[in-house]
């Protein structure tokens, strides 16, 4: 059961990572970049972090290809275009993920119950400047209690998670926005209902709550390797800065829900290059 929970957590993480990008090497921040005291953590706020593209543009405001600096000399200028509502929005918002070859996805509860899955694939899309949606993850080769697990209507060993949505946020603040650690939280639409339901050896399982996965930022990339971590059944991290934890919980039958954590590595691919900017 606890292993099943891990899988669910892992599912969420890959999605978030898919959208992530590698850290930029900019040496200076834009003058209008917010500091820790002014940084907004609300999904609706018109502030970083956000999805978008940094494009070479004549007369652009930025001097580096990550759109994180407006100072210094450069032969090319760049401009930041948010994924939605900008002069050059993203044309392809979809993304996919696949479990790293040769690895296994695990979900562990604080009670040391472990669910293992041998395969994972997911699809989703960027639905706003801070949001992702329609994230559906399928795990294969899943087992717990020494028996295979499956969702209703799915083949043995296959767990299909419910469609999830998510939001970008700050995992850890730093002296400057360019060094903020960014993450993505996935949860059922409206934070209601289960993330997934399935059964193992005839025992029903339900996973609820949310999962936060670190994502890289400040670089335009089409692919990324996403690593989701947990320690003794607890996610790392468990919440955004300034927010109350919304831990992932797994429940076996009519038993008491148990906190869970995931451990896995997935390879993410975006339909087009995208950046998560922590400065703009």
- Residue 5's H or E segment, with its range, is helix 2-18
Nearest to 213 by CA among 118, 97, 119: 97
d(CA 69, CA 54): 11
- Tokens matching residue 212: 């936060």
What is the average pLDDT across 118-125? 97
Burial grade of 124 (CB within 10 A; 0-12, 13-18, 19 or more): buried
Residue 37's pLDDT is: 40
pLDDT > 90: percent of the chain: 73
For residue 35, pLDDT beyond 90:
no
For residue 94, pLDDT beyond 50:
yes
Report in angstroms the alpha-carbon separations of 211 from 31, 79, 107, 133: 33, 32, 12, 14
For residue 1, pLDDT beyond 60:
no
What is the average pLDDT across 106-134? 95
Nearest to 147 by CA among 134, 156, 155: 156
pTM comes to 0.82
The pLDDT-based confidence of 45 (bands split at 50, 70, 90) is low
For residue 6, pLDDT beyond 90:
no
Q: Residue 176 half-sphere exposure, CB side, CA atoms within 13 Å? A: 13
Return the ∠ at Cα 129 (arms to 44 and 175), rounded to 5°.
75
pLDDT > 70: percent of the chain: 84
Residue 46's pLDDT is: 61
The pLDDT-based confidence of 237 (bands split at 50, 70, 90) is very high
Cα of 279 vs its chain's centroid, Å: 19
Higher-confidence residue of 7 and 91: namely: 91
d(CA 114, CA 230): 12
Phi, psi of 218 (to 5 degrees): 65, 40
Residue 47's pLDDT is: 76
The pLDDT-based confidence of 221 (bands split at 50, 70, 90) is very high
Higher-confidence residue of 3 and 189: namely: 189
* 173-186 confidence digits (pLDDT tens): 999 999 999 999 99
Report in angstroms the alpha-carbon separations of 13 from 69, 80, 110, 154, 212: 29, 26, 19, 22, 7
d(CA 213, CA 120): 16
Residue 36's pLDDT is: 38
For residue 7, pLDDT beyond 60:
no
What is the average pLDDT across 199-210? 92
**Mean pLDDT over all residues of the chain?**
85
For residue 238, pLDDT beyond 90:
yes
């Amino acid at each position: 059961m606890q292993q099943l929970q891990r899988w669910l957590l892992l599912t969420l993480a890959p999605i978030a990572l898919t959208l992530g990008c590698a850290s930029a090497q900019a040496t200076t921040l834009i003058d209008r970049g917010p500091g820790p005291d002014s940084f907004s953590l609300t999904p609706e706020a018109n502030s970083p972090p956000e999805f978008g593209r940094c494009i070479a543009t004549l007369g652009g405001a930025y001097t580096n290809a990550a759109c994180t600096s407006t100072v210094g000399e450069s032969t090319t200028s760049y401009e930041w275009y948010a994924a939605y509502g900008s002069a050059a929005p993203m044309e392809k918002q979809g993304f996919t993920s696949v479990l790293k070859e040769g690895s296994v996805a695990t979900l562990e509860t604080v009670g040391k119950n472990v669910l293992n899955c041998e395969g994972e694939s997911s699809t989703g899309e960027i639905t706003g400047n801070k949001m992702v949606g329609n994230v559906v993850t399928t795990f294969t080769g899943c087992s717990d209690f020494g028996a295979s697990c499956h969702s209703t209507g799915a083949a043995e060993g296959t767990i299909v998670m419910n469609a999830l949505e998510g939001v970008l946020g700050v995992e850890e603040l730093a002296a400057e926005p360019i060094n903020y650690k960014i993450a993505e939280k996935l949860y059922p639409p409206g934070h209601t209902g289960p993330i997934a339901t399935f059964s193992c050896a005839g025992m029903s399982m339900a996973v609820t709550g949310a999962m936060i996965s670190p994502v890289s930022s400040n670089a335009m990339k089409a692919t990324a390797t996403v690593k989701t971590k947990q320690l003794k059944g607890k996610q790392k991290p468990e919440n955004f800065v300034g927010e109350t934890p919304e831990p992932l919980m797994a429940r076996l039958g009519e038993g008491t829900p148990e906190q869970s954590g995931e451990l896995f590595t997935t390879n993410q691919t975006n339909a087009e290059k995208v950046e998560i900017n922590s400065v703009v």
